[in-house]
Structure 1
Amino acid sequence: GRGAWGCVARSDQGWFVVACAGKLDHLASLLQAEATACIKAIEAASEMGVHRVIFESDSLQLVKALNTSDYDKSSIGVLLREARSLYFASFDAF
């Protein structure tokens, strides 16, 4: 039920820009943790004023869930829809 998230931002040249991390409580699944971490990364990039971004994840399930509507009616569907909404609201290209 507990976990942590972390993200690293790099420039288009691969240089380190910033890293951030935090704790997660009351988790029901690994996918919920991955989706929450993704939202935290989106928020961090948005706060930095980034307009064009590439997100990477080691979770194929998360990538599939974000790129399709297959998981939208699952217990984490609201997190996935929030992530997509933040993408469109925060970035010119992602």
Structure 2
Amino acid sequence: MWVKPPINCYKLNVDAAFFEDGTGAAAAILRNNRGEALAGASWLLHHLLDSTTAEAVAIQRGLELVEGLGCHQVIVESDSLEVIQACNGVIEIWSPYTAILADCFQKSYRIGVVSFTHCLREANRLAHNLARHSFNLNTTLVWDGDPPSFLLSDIVDDVTLI
């Protein structure tokens, strides 16, 4: 299940959907230490090489969202173990998404304190549902404030289970 971040910290959950034709969608949701969804976005993706690249793009776009909101202490959480290990220097990043992660590191430096953690898919349900929604409706979605109504039940479930 999803776990709240510490006080004075935000959690950015990211996820991506990838299809063999090179299309997909990425999503990011920023929540505070009370579990409230403060902002989020989803983006349609094209010309992807693989699913791991899509996951790296989700982190990149999520960090852009965080940077734009002026947050300075963030835990980035993804269910892509390979990308999280690459972000933490556990594995070498000689792959199609190397340049994307280099950009993520630059954004992280500008943001302030950013850590990268792996989570199970069940803990990343909100970002997963947002990416799937964006792809299914062929639309990009951005919000700052109240989340879209189709996500509310997942947000409530996450917060009440804790």
Fold similarity call, TM over 0.5: yes
**What's the C-alpha RMSD, in Å, of the aligned pairs?**
1.1
Counterparts of 1:75 and 1:9, CA distance in 2: 27
Cross-structure match for 1:16: 37
Is the contact made by 2:73 and 2:111 (CA closer than 8 Å) also made in structure 1?
Answer: no
Counterparts of 1:42-81 in structure 2, within 5 Å, are 42-68=63-89, 70-71=92-93, 73-81=94-102
Counterparts of 1:18 and 1:88, CA distance in 2: 21
Q: Does 1:26 align with 2:47?
A: yes
Gaps of 5+ in 2: 1-21, 115-162
Query: How far did 1:66 drift?
Result: 1.0
Counterparts of 1:64 and 1:89, CA distance in 2: 21
Counterpart code for 2:45:
L
Counterparts of 2:96 and 2:58, CA distance in 1: 16
- For the residue of structure 1 that corresponds to 2:77, the secondary structure is coil
Cross-structure match for 2:107: 86
- For the residue of structure 1 that corresponds to 2:25, the secondary structure is strand
Comparing 20-29 with 73-82, which one deviates more in the overlay?
Answer: 73-82
**Bigger RCO (CA 8 Å, 6+ sep):** 2
- Following TM superposition, the consecutive aligned residue runs of length 4 or more in structure 1 with deviations greater than 3 angstroms are none
Higher strand share: 2
Cross-structure match for 2:160: none
Gaps of 5+ in 1: none
Instruction: Indicate the structure (1 or 2) with the bigger Cα radius of gyration.
Output: 2
Counterpart code for 2:59:
C
Counterparts of 1:10 and 1:63, CA distance in 2: 19
Counterparts of 1:53 and 1:3, CA distance in 2: 25
